[in-house]
Amino acid sequence: MFTGSIPALVTPFKPDGALDEARLVAFVEWQIAQGSSALVPCGTTGEAATLSFEEHYRVIEISVQVAAGRVPVIAGCGSNDTATALRHMAKAAALGADAALVVCPYYNKPSQAGLLAHFSALAAASDLPIILYNVPSRTVADLSVETTATLSALPTIVGIKDASGNLPRVTALRGLCPDFVQLSGNDDMTLGYMAMGGHGCISVTANVAPRLCAEFQAACARGDYAAARDLNDRLYPLHAALFSDASPGPAKYALAKLGRLGETLRLPITPPSEASRALVDAALAHAGLS
């Protein structure tokens, strides 16, 4: 259902911190024109934790309207509160999103039983397809292979964005639920992830280099790992540079350099350091983007 290069969209803000709707429209249009195969608004990279409910839903609405069915929109709907996650899912479905990306509840630190109950409750209450999002470095809770496999049996839980950094899980999950969609959540590990049977990547780097990321995914899909490796070598410094300071600061700096949007961030994220900016500058040059 979901494959290829899928940017976890940054959210453009005006210099005064307000949502920049015009820039968002243009950014979504550019992503589609550059070959992105789906879009994820209101994820971590989109600073969803700093958006009001009204802003959150407006970003989803704009993304759906601009995409206009050309690519799927996977709306970020996660929360540490099951009721709030369900509220987000209901609104995303009403706005026309194609699926929900739902992160493991953070801060609460649920057990595997709690994770199973959380996602099962969401699946029972909504027909919107769910992509699980496992990112233990941010949530502390780590969705196990066994719990993931159990959840995959539910008809609306269709895949996972795995940012655990644990590559063997790709093979383990393929053995337990071969039809489950597996999407990398770590740009710098995606070459190995795809070789092991992954289906795509929900990507930070695709914000900045959507065409190259789409070409990389296309090479993987046709089994041309020599071409994929060459593209990965070209992109690798950018993968690293975009996490050389708190994300999405470096990504927004890179996009500002490319003239795509402004650098405005919302606290507690602050602008990247001079050292980080230098790494981004070098990585953009290495990738042939500047």
Q: How far apart are alpha carbons 166 and 163 in whole angstroms?
A: 8
- Please confirm, yes or no, whether 257 is among the known catalytic residues: no
Alpha carbon distance 194, 17 (integer Å): 38
Number of residues that this document lists for the chain: 290
The residue from 57, 133, 193, 253 that is catalytic is: 133
Phi, psi of 192 (to 5 degrees): -65, -40
Q: Choose the catalytic residue: 14, 91, 109, 161.
A: 161
Q: Give the separation between CA 75 and CA 82, rounded to whole angstroms.
A: 16
161 is annotated as an active-site residue: yes
Q: Are 159 and 1 in contact (CB under 8 A)?
A: yes
Q: What is the residue-wise DSSP string for 143-193? A: --HHHHHHHHTSTTEEEEEE-S--THHHHHHHHH-TTSEEEES-GGGHHHH
Do residues 284 and 240 lie in contact, with contact meaning Cβ atoms separated by under 8 Å? no
Q: Are the C-beta atoms of 208 and 242 separated by less than 8 Å?
A: yes
102 forms beta bridges with 132
Selection from 155, 213, 152, 209 nearest residue 184 by Cα: 213
Active site (catalytic) residues: 133, 161
